[in-house]
Amino acid sequence: MEVPTPRLPSFFFFFFFFFFFTRRRHPYSLFRTLFVCMRVCVSQMEGNDLRGLEKCILKSEALHQYILDSTVIPREHEQLKKLREETKARIPKRALMNVPPEEGQLLSIILKVMNAKKTLELGVFTGYSLLATALALPKDAKITAIDISRACYEIGLPFIQAAGVEQKIDFIESDAVLALDKLIEEVKEDELYDFAFVDAEKSDYWIYHERLIRLVRIGGLICYDNTLWLGTVAHPPDPQAPAFVNRMRDVVAWFNEKLAADSRIELSQICIGDGLTICRRIA
So where are the chain's domains? 61-281
Helix runs in the chain, H state only: 8-20, 29-46, 61-67, 78-90, 101-113, 128-136, 151-162, 176-186, 205-215, 243-260
pLDDT interval class at 44 (50, 70, 90): low
Strand 118-122 and strand 265-270: the pairing is unpaired
**Strand partners for 221:** 195, 280
| pLDDT at residue 2 in the model | 41
Question: CA 205 to CA 224: how far, in whole Å?
Answer: 8
Cβ-contact 94, 178 below 8 angstroms: no
Contact criterion met (CB below 8 Å) for 196 and 120 = yes
CATH 3.40.50.150 fits 61-281, yes or no: yes
Q: Which of helix, strand or coil describes residue 195?
A: strand
Residue 37 has pLDDT above 70, yes or no: no
Question: Residue 32 — very low, low, confident or very high, per pLDDT cuts 50/70/90?
Answer: low
- pLDDT of 19 > 60? The answer is no
13 pLDDT tier (thresholds 50, 70, 90): very low
Task: Using the predicted structure, report yes or no on whether residue 16 has a pLDDT greater than 50.
Answer: no
Residue 270 has pLDDT above 50, yes or no: yes
pLDDT tens for each residue of 223-244: 999 999 999 999 999 999 999 9
Which amino acid makes up residue 38? M
pLDDT of residue 58: 72
Segment 76-100 mean pLDDT: 97
